[in-house]
Structure 1
Amino acid sequence: MLYLQGDLVALGIKPVGTSSVFEGAAFAEELGGIEDLGSWYEPNPEAIMAVKPDLIIAASEETYEILKDIAPTVPIPYEKMATDERVMKIGEVFGKEQEAQALLDNFHEKLEKSKQQLDELGILDKTVTIIEGGKKEMAVIDSKLYGRGSQIIYEYLGLKAPEILQKKIDGREKATGGFVSLEVLPEYIGDFVFRSVWDGADDLSDNPIWNSIPAIKEGRLIEIGFDFSYYSDIYSLDKQLDFVVEKLVSAYEKK
């Protein structure tokens, strides 16, 4: 399995090998001890042949072309398939259509309950910004498909970004983000801000511009782990939904 490993984990399938998994991925523990086959976009054909797979799931058409002669290979181009379509396709491949449908039904039921909870608190009417970066400039996420919680926040929960970002998000069909200087960052920050962080990320606690932003001053900054929020499989999305809703409610109740 190359990328989207969490789709298999959610369906109760453990692959013999997988592309590299970040330590903080939601499903990392479930895949402990299996063979590392290289990055999902640059797989190691020799490593894949060594595990003698009966089936290969390729996350892009490019990797499919590289691997199709090793074993029967199914392309699941994650950038071209919506979550429900992809999960159902994987369920079909493994004869787990009913399990896949139940998985999606449970996710969407949880999603509706989460939206109702946020709506009752008035949070659905607030704006949310997702950022990643350091002291001189910040990556500002302007897509629903970038990871870092963007799919849960902007697509599934339907929360909006500040207008300067929302116009871009509405027109994006690919994973994108742009960099802005710290001096203009306040213009991009909404009522809540999620900051993607990793070990060694810059400490901004003494930065006057950072501390002047209302969301930062008033405790509506939420740090989300880079590893945890990188993936967009159904297992990760389910865990990200729990995290995002819990943190939004907690930050709201601090007021």
Structure 2
Amino acid sequence: MMKRSSKRILTAILGMTMLLAVTGCQNTKQASSTSTQAGTGTETEQPTQSEAKGTRKVQTVKGEIEVPTDPKRVVVNWYVGDVVALDLNIVGYYGWEHEGMPYYDKMMATTKIQNWEQEEVMALDPDLIVTYSDEDYDKFKSIAPVIVIPEGDLSSIDRVLFLGEATGTKEKAQSVVDTFETKLAAAKETLQSDKFKDKTFSINEDWGSGSYGIFYETESRGGTLVYKYLGLKKPEKLEQLIKEKGENREGLSYEVAANYFGDYMLWFHPYDSAEGEPSEYEMSDIWKSLPAVVNNQVISIPSSKSGLFYYSDVLSLTAQMDYIVDAINSITK
């Protein structure tokens, strides 16, 4: 009886040992499985495989690409202001520079790319390339990851926020956007007051009677800020002209240009004109009779400020707004 009981106890102990071993193995597999699944989630503390090797995955118009989690050497085409706003290290840019730009000094501290070609870009040893051109993806992807943001796909605000998310500078992106939106709210309060109710605004530049005449602008030269963000009105005849021709910017002859001017005019002097020198149109009799001129409602943009209104990144928009609001306040006192 003793031998039979001992054998039963031994069998029970062995069975319990095997059960615990199997259970432990299953728990280990489940923990491993949970860890792997968590690693693919968007809200996990565990790093993804790409993050573990120093990159993050970003969804772009060219599909999902891997970019450095902390880019150190950025090359940029056109979106210079966005990259500057994020405090990323620019080793080369391709675009126009002018002393009126709010980040001109930072542009001068880096390399201007003369030819947007593989050889010159490769020589800068970038770890990230930012561009607006779809063609640049295949052109440069063998050199470094390429983030393509086609013009018009994102607003100025959404673009810098997207780049902030993509490059690990989300907080910086939000900071510059917050600054812009705070100033925008204050500017709207001024420009949408009763004083400016039903007033129209036009953006114009004198190219000369022997050239394109008087250009009207609706997107560049501050148009993005004036019409999209500040919500100011275009002259009715200008709205009709744009619908008829389908052109957001075009030259008008000296003889007809006045028909399309607003109650207030943002009047640009060409970037290469002498400072303080009146343009050809400003010396005409027509100019002297313009309602905006008679009523002192012309916001003059000197050649030294041409660069300020060239780009439409969040830093440029903020600086443009400061200039316009100060100018309007000075002429409406």
TM superposition score category, shorter chain reference: 0.7 to 0.9
Distance (whole Å) between structure 2 residues aligned to residue 14 and residue 122 of structure 1: 44
Whether the 8 Å CA contact 1:14–1:31 is kept in 2: the answer is: no
1:30 CA displacement:
2.1
Partners of 1:87 and 1:156 lie apart in 2 by: 16
Q: Structure 1: state its 5+ residue gaps.
A: none
Relative to structure 1, the CA distance from residue 242 to residue 169 in structure 2 (aligned partners, 3 Å threshold; closer, same or farther) is farther
CA separation in 1, counterparts of 2:240 and 2:324?
23
2:264 maps to 1:188: no
Checking the alignment, whether the CA contact within 8 Å between 2:79 and 2:313 is kept in structure 1 is yes
Q: Deviations over 1:191-220 (max 9, x none)?
A: 111122222273433211122211123322
- 1:20–1:134 Cα change, 3 Å: closer
- Structure 1 position 47 matched with structure 2 position 127: no
1:30 aligns with 2:106: yes
Match of 1:232 among 312, 320, 327: 312
CA distance in 2 between partners of 1:180 and 1:204 (Å): 12
1:121: how far off? Answer: 5.8
CA shift, 1:115, in A, is: 0.7
Q: CA deviation at 1:175?
A: 7.8
Question: TM-score if structure 2 supplies the norm length?
Answer: 0.68
Which structure has more relative contact order (CA 8 Å, sep 6+)? It is 1
CA spacing shift, 1:132–1:244, aligned 2, 3 Å: same
Q: Distance between the aligned counterparts of 2:242 and 2:323, measured in 1?
A: 22
**Match status 1:217 vs 2:294:** yes
- Letter of the 2:140 partner, please give it: L
Q: Is the 8 A contact 1:132 1:195 kept in 2?
A: yes
Aligned-pair Cα RMSD in Å: 2.3
Give how far 1:148 is off: 0.4
Q: String of CA shifts for 1:140-173, please: whole Å, max 9, x gaps.
A: 12x3xx220111111111100110123466899x
The alpha-carbon distance between structure 1 residues 169 and 151, as it changes in their structure 2 partners (threshold 3 A), is farther
Give the 3 Å change call, closer, same or farther, for CA 63–13 of structure 1 in structure 2. same
Equivalent positions of 1:85-164 (< 5 A) are: 85-120=158-193, 122-136=195-209, 137-141=213-217, 143=218, 146-164=219-237
Q: Structure 2 stretches of 5 or more lacking a match?
A: 1-75
Sequence identity (%): 32
Q: Which residue of 2 aligns with 1:246?
A: 326
CA distance in 1, matches of 2:252, 2:242: 16
SS in 2 for 1:223: strand
- SS of 2:281's partner is coil
Compare CA radii of gyration and give the structure with the larger one.
Answer: 2
Give the secondary-structure state (helix, strand or coil) at the position aligned to 1:36.
coil
Measured after TM superposition, the shift of residue 188 of structure 1 is 0.7
